[in-house]
Amino acid sequence: MKRLYTCTLSSLGFLLVGCYTLEPTGGIAPDLGVGVALDINDQGRVNLGGQVGPEIAQIEGRLVSKDTAEYVVAVQAVRLLRGGEQVWRGEQIRIKSSYVSTVYVKQLSKGRTVAAVAVGAALVAAVFGQKLFGDGPRNTDPTLPDTSNTIRIPLPLSRP
Protein backbone atom coordinates (compact mmCIF):
# COMPACT_ATOMS: atom_id res chain seq x y z
CA MET A 1 0.00 0.00 0.00
CA LYS A 2 2.95 2.28 0.69
CA ARG A 3 4.07 1.82 -2.91
CA LEU A 4 0.60 2.89 -4.08
CA TYR A 5 0.75 6.16 -2.16
CA THR A 6 4.28 6.89 -3.36
CA CYS A 7 3.34 6.23 -6.97
CA THR A 8 0.17 8.30 -6.75
CA LEU A 9 1.81 11.27 -5.04
CA SER A 10 4.75 11.33 -7.42
CA SER A 11 2.40 11.16 -10.41
CA LEU A 12 0.31 14.02 -9.10
CA GLY A 13 3.41 16.05 -8.28
CA PHE A 14 4.67 15.55 -11.80
CA LEU A 15 1.32 16.64 -13.23
CA LEU A 16 1.21 19.79 -11.12
CA VAL A 17 4.42 21.05 -12.72
CA GLY A 18 2.45 21.66 -15.90
CA CYS A 19 -0.15 23.79 -14.10
CA TYR A 20 1.78 27.03 -14.49
CA THR A 21 2.11 29.34 -17.48
CA LEU A 22 4.28 32.34 -18.21
CA GLU A 23 2.18 35.44 -18.88
CA PRO A 24 3.69 38.70 -20.24
CA THR A 25 3.49 41.56 -17.76
CA GLY A 26 2.76 44.20 -20.40
CA GLY A 27 5.25 46.65 -18.93
CA ILE A 28 3.93 46.38 -15.37
CA ALA A 29 6.67 45.65 -12.83
CA PRO A 30 6.19 42.21 -11.20
CA ASP A 31 6.05 41.87 -7.42
CA LEU A 32 9.18 40.80 -5.54
CA GLY A 33 9.40 37.11 -4.74
CA VAL A 34 7.27 35.93 -7.67
CA GLY A 35 8.43 33.60 -10.42
CA VAL A 36 9.53 35.47 -13.52
CA ALA A 37 11.06 34.72 -16.89
CA LEU A 38 13.10 37.27 -18.82
CA ASP A 39 13.63 37.08 -22.57
CA ILE A 40 17.20 38.19 -23.23
CA ASN A 41 18.01 40.34 -26.27
CA ASP A 42 21.21 40.27 -28.38
CA GLN A 43 22.94 42.91 -26.24
CA GLY A 44 22.15 40.84 -23.13
CA ARG A 45 23.48 37.65 -24.73
CA VAL A 46 26.80 39.33 -25.42
CA ASN A 47 27.12 40.93 -21.99
CA LEU A 48 25.78 38.01 -19.91
CA GLY A 49 27.59 35.32 -21.91
CA GLY A 50 30.56 35.14 -19.56
CA GLN A 51 28.37 34.94 -16.46
CA VAL A 52 25.50 32.73 -17.66
CA GLY A 53 26.75 31.15 -20.88
CA PRO A 54 26.36 31.74 -24.60
CA GLU A 55 23.13 31.55 -26.62
CA ILE A 56 20.80 32.59 -23.79
CA ALA A 57 17.17 32.89 -24.87
CA GLN A 58 15.42 33.18 -21.51
CA ILE A 59 16.27 33.26 -17.82
CA GLU A 60 13.69 31.97 -15.34
CA GLY A 61 13.74 32.34 -11.58
CA ARG A 62 12.45 34.24 -8.56
CA LEU A 63 12.59 38.03 -8.61
CA VAL A 64 14.73 39.16 -5.66
CA SER A 65 14.81 42.90 -6.41
CA LYS A 66 14.00 45.33 -9.20
CA ASP A 67 14.76 48.97 -9.85
CA THR A 68 14.77 51.06 -13.03
CA ALA A 69 18.24 49.89 -14.04
CA GLU A 70 18.33 46.16 -13.27
CA TYR A 71 16.67 42.96 -12.10
CA VAL A 72 18.18 40.65 -9.51
CA VAL A 73 16.94 37.11 -10.11
CA ALA A 74 17.52 33.86 -8.19
CA VAL A 75 17.93 31.72 -11.32
CA GLN A 76 16.22 28.34 -11.58
CA ALA A 77 16.64 27.70 -15.31
CA VAL A 78 18.32 29.13 -18.40
CA ARG A 79 16.74 28.30 -21.76
CA LEU A 80 18.99 28.32 -24.80
CA LEU A 81 18.35 29.65 -28.31
CA ARG A 82 18.70 26.27 -30.01
CA GLY A 83 16.67 24.39 -27.44
CA GLY A 84 17.75 22.83 -24.22
CA GLU A 85 17.72 24.06 -20.69
CA GLN A 86 20.30 24.49 -17.96
CA VAL A 87 19.03 23.95 -14.41
CA TRP A 88 20.34 26.31 -11.75
CA ARG A 89 19.95 26.23 -7.97
CA GLY A 90 18.90 29.76 -7.13
CA GLU A 91 22.18 31.56 -7.80
CA GLN A 92 21.48 35.29 -7.96
CA ILE A 93 22.50 37.32 -11.00
CA ARG A 94 22.04 40.96 -11.93
CA ILE A 95 20.44 41.62 -15.30
CA LYS A 96 20.29 45.16 -16.67
CA SER A 97 16.84 46.22 -17.87
CA SER A 98 18.34 47.07 -21.26
CA TYR A 99 19.23 43.35 -21.72
CA VAL A 100 15.58 42.26 -21.39
CA SER A 101 13.09 42.29 -24.26
CA THR A 102 10.05 40.75 -22.49
CA VAL A 103 9.18 40.05 -18.86
CA TYR A 104 6.84 37.18 -17.94
CA VAL A 105 5.21 36.29 -14.62
CA LYS A 106 4.63 32.67 -13.62
CA GLN A 107 0.91 32.17 -12.95
CA LEU A 108 -1.31 29.26 -12.04
CA SER A 109 -3.27 28.06 -15.09
CA LYS A 110 -6.82 27.09 -14.10
CA GLY A 111 -7.40 25.05 -17.26
CA ARG A 112 -4.18 23.05 -16.90
CA THR A 113 -4.85 22.52 -13.21
CA VAL A 114 -8.31 21.09 -13.89
CA ALA A 115 -6.86 18.84 -16.61
CA ALA A 116 -4.05 17.66 -14.34
CA VAL A 117 -6.48 16.87 -11.51
CA ALA A 118 -8.70 14.92 -13.94
CA VAL A 119 -5.74 12.90 -15.23
CA GLY A 120 -4.53 12.29 -11.67
CA ALA A 121 -8.00 11.12 -10.59
CA ALA A 122 -8.10 8.77 -13.59
CA LEU A 123 -4.69 7.35 -12.61
CA VAL A 124 -5.81 6.76 -9.04
CA ALA A 125 -9.03 5.12 -10.25
CA ALA A 126 -7.05 2.88 -12.60
CA VAL A 127 -4.65 1.85 -9.83
CA PHE A 128 -7.44 1.04 -7.36
CA GLY A 129 -9.68 -0.52 -9.99
CA GLN A 130 -7.10 -2.88 -11.46
CA LYS A 131 -5.37 -3.87 -8.24
CA LEU A 132 -2.04 -3.31 -9.93
CA PHE A 133 0.01 -3.74 -6.78
CA GLY A 134 -0.86 -7.33 -5.89
CA ASP A 135 -3.84 -6.64 -3.65
CA GLY A 136 -6.05 -9.04 -5.64
CA PRO A 137 -8.52 -11.70 -4.45
CA ARG A 138 -7.34 -14.17 -1.85
CA ASN A 139 -7.99 -17.92 -1.61
CA THR A 140 -10.89 -18.24 0.82
CA ASP A 141 -11.78 -21.89 0.03
CA PRO A 142 -11.08 -23.87 3.26
CA THR A 143 -10.91 -27.22 1.42
CA LEU A 144 -7.76 -26.27 -0.47
CA PRO A 145 -4.50 -26.96 1.34
CA ASP A 146 -2.20 -24.15 2.35
CA THR A 147 0.76 -24.65 0.03
CA SER A 148 3.15 -22.81 2.28
CA ASN A 149 2.90 -25.63 4.86
CA THR A 150 2.68 -28.58 2.47
CA ILE A 151 5.66 -30.91 2.34
CA ARG A 152 6.25 -32.52 -1.03
CA ILE A 153 7.97 -35.89 -1.03
CA PRO A 154 9.18 -37.14 -4.41
CA LEU A 155 8.02 -40.58 -5.49
CA PRO A 156 10.60 -43.15 -6.63
CA LEU A 157 10.82 -43.66 -10.34
CA SER A 158 9.32 -46.89 -11.55
CA ARG A 159 11.17 -48.68 -14.32
CA PRO A 160 9.40 -51.00 -16.82
Nearest alpha-carbon partner for 85 in 76, 94, 73, 93: 76
Asked if residue 148 belongs to a domain, the reply is no
Q: Are residues 25 and 100 in the same domain?
A: yes
Specify if 145 maps to a domain.
no
Domain that holds residue 96: 20-108
pTM of the model as a whole: 0.61
CA dihedral sign of residues 8, 14, 16, 19? negative
| Beta-strand relationship, 35-40 and 56-66 | antiparallel
pLDDT reported for residue 80:
95
Decide if 93 contacts 74 (C-beta within 8 A): no
Q: Give the distance, in angstroms, between the CA of residue 109 and the centroid of all CA atoms in the same chain.
A: 15
Nearest C-alpha neighbor of 103 from the set 25, 9, 10, 14: 25
144 occurs within a structural domain: no
Greatest Cα pair distance, the chain, in angstroms, is 102
Q: Express each pLDDT in 59-107 by its tens digit.
A: 999 999 999 899 999 999 999 999 999 999 999 999 999 999 999 998 8
Domain count, the chain: 2
Does residue 84 form part of some domain? yes
